[in-house]
Amino acid sequence: MILTIDIGNSNTVFVSYNGHKNINERVVTGKELAYEYYKLILKDLNIKPEAVIVSCVVPRIQEDVRRAIFDVCGLEALFINSTTVKDFDIRLDNPMDIGADFIATAMGAMGKYDCPIIIADIGSATKLTYVNNEGAFCGGIIIPGIGTSVEAMYSYIPHLPQVPLEIPSKVIGTGTIDAIQSGIMYGIIAQIEGLARKMEQEIGQECVKLLTGGYASLIHEHTEGFIYEPDLLNDGLNEIYKRGMIV
């Protein structure tokens, strides 16, 4: 059994693979007392993996996570980054800049689909990335995520009512709440669809388009032309391990 851990800025997802996939846990990312937090979660999972592979975009908790994994599972965790993953073609101005999440989602995509691929990862930031015909990671676009945009709006306009993050029935709102919801939810959908079209125009061909990330569950049914892959990052971690790409 392989345990994969996706530690994002907002959420952490534990998925194990043993011939089939099990979503073991989805929790808020613990940034304070991280060692105790992740140690407790790992104990509660009550599984005995043969390897643990991790994508972590919160550097300050990585050592605490590593210790928790070692103390509970008796294993040295495999943390992916630009130096620990081999045979991954990175075509950026500075390949060292690539984050673990970009590597993992790209590998998850290539494990299931033919290139070229555009991946829209909807999390704390919204990221659209491009994998070319040769399977090379060629960059992309980063914009503020849904949660980040909402927090910014309320900090600058505090008198606005707090609204639940859900798709309203109409694009044109007839009240403040549904107008805000429409702006947030249909706004991110329009960004994703529009930017993907711009990317395809620049690339010069249509791409397989994938939608993933923590907020993708809110919008995938309303986003045209994208395939929803909720666990793409964890799938990519498993793919990296299966292919023996960890140095």
Q: What is the mean pLDDT of residues 43-59?
A: 97
E-assigned strands of the chain? 2-7, 11-17, 21-28, 51-56, 78-79, 117-122, 125-131, 137-144, 208-212, 227-228
The CATH homologous superfamily to which domain 115-228 belongs is ATPase, nucleotide binding domain (3.30.420.40)
Six-digit token string for 22: 């099990």
Q: Residue 83: pLDDT above 90?
A: yes
Q: What is the mean pLDDT of residues 80-87?
A: 97
CATH 3.30.420.40 placement within the chain: 1-112+232-247, 115-228
pTM of full prediction above 0.75: yes
Concerning whether 93 is annotated as a catalytic residue, the answer is no
How high is the mean pLDDT of the chain?
97
Q: What pLDDT shows up at residue 23?
A: 86
Six-digit token string for 17: 């693979």
Phi, psi of 25 (to 5 degrees): -165, 140
Q: What pLDDT shows up at residue 140?
A: 98
> How does pLDDT run across 4-27, given as a tens digit for each residue?
999 999 999 999 999 899 988 999
- Name the catalytic one among 6, 64, 101, 231: 101
Task: Give the CATH fold of the 1-112+232-247 domain.
Answer: Nucleotidyltransferase; domain 5 (3.30.420)
Confidence of residue 34 (pLDDT cuts 50, 70, 90): very high
C-beta atoms surrounding 174 within 10 Å:
9
CA 227 → CA 91, 132, 181, distances in Å? Answer: 25, 18, 23
Q: Tell me the percentage of the chain whose pLDDT exceeds 70.
A: 100
> How does pLDDT run across 113-165, given as a tens digit for each residue?
999 999 999 998 999 999 999 999 999 999 999 989 999 999 999 999 999 99
Rounded distance between C-alpha atoms, residue 184 and residue 21, angstroms: 33
Tokens 């043993």 belong to which residue? 18
